């Protein structure tokens, strides 16, 4: 079995600490992945707190989510990460967190969250100014990951200009980018805007 590059492991561990510091991965929630140069996917193992990922807390799977080491168990939502990498050849990192804002807003909205007029929209491709908007899809959560991924694919097929992210209702957000710094930037921008939306909903 080819070892996972130490740089990839450390990038995933650092992302976990950063997400934990912001309260986006409570308990064992969330998952983090990277596409390796050889095409394998490095992803956090199931049951690991993302703020304290041990050196052996990262494993590899193929694009179908099959573990390279049969004795290791990947995150339950590995199939959603693999779906991103199969669909988008330029995707190099994917992040999933469980923030209060994403969880709460997605329970109260319909099939999307409209984000408009925010400076941080510029973190998303093709948006060079705050005078823009994105419709962030919200999908009902499902314990059947293959069925859930099929619904994600339907959303992508219906909107070719979709943003590189979506929310699972009452669960959390997924984002991806070409590399880990890009994915973290996108996640932070999105979580900031969702927090603003939650605060605005509290105002009279």
**pLDDT value at residue 69:** 82
Q: How many domains does the chain have?
A: 1
In a domain, 12, yes or no: yes
- d(Cα 8, Cα 113) in Å, to the nearest integer? 32
In a domain, 115, yes or no: yes
**pLDDT value at residue 87:** 96
φ, ψ at 87 (rounded to 5°) = -80, -40
**pLDDT value at residue 156:** 94
In a domain, 185, yes or no: yes
CATH of the domain at 131: 3.40.225.10
pLDDT by 10-residue block (mean), the chain, 204 residues: 93 98 94 97 94 94 90 86 96 97 92 92 84 91 94 92 91 96 96 94 83
In a domain, 197, yes or no: yes
Please calculate the CA angle 69-187-10 and round it to the nearest 5 degrees: 40
**pLDDT value at residue 93:** 98
- d(Cα 118, Cα 131) in Å, to the nearest integer? 8
Q: Which domain holds residue 154?
A: 6-202
In a domain, 1, yes or no: no
Sheet holding 93-97, edge to edge: 58-61, 41-44, 31-35, 93-97, 172-177, 165-168, 133-139, 112-116
The DSSP code for 91 is: -
In a domain, 43, yes or no: yes
Global pTM reads 0.93
């Amino acid at each position: 079995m080819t070892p996972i590059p130490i740089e990839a492991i450390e990038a995933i561990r650092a992302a976990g600490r950063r997400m934990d510091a912001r309260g986006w991965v409570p308990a064992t929630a969330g998952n983090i992945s990277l596409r390796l140069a050889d095409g394998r996917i490095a992803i956090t193992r199931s049951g690991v707190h993302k703020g304290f990922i041990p050196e052996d807390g990262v494993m590899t799977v193929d694009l179908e989510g099959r573990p390279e080491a049969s004795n290791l168990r990947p995150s339950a939502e590995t199939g959603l990460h693999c779906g991103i990498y199969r669909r988008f050849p330029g995707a190099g990192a994917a992040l999933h967190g469980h923030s209060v804002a994403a969880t709460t807003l997605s329970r109260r909205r319909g099939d999307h969250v409209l984000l408009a007029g925010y400076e941080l929209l510029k973190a998303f491709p093709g948006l060079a100014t705050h005078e823009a908007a994105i419709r962030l899809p919200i999908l009902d959560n499902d314990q059947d990951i293959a069925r859930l991924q099929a619904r994600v694919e339907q959303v992508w097929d219906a909107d070719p200009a979709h943003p590189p992210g979506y929310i699972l209702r009452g669960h959390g957000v997924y984002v991806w980018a070409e590399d880990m710094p890009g994915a973290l930037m996108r996640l932070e921008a999105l979580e900031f805007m969702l927090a603003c939306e939650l605060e605005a909903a509290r105002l009279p």
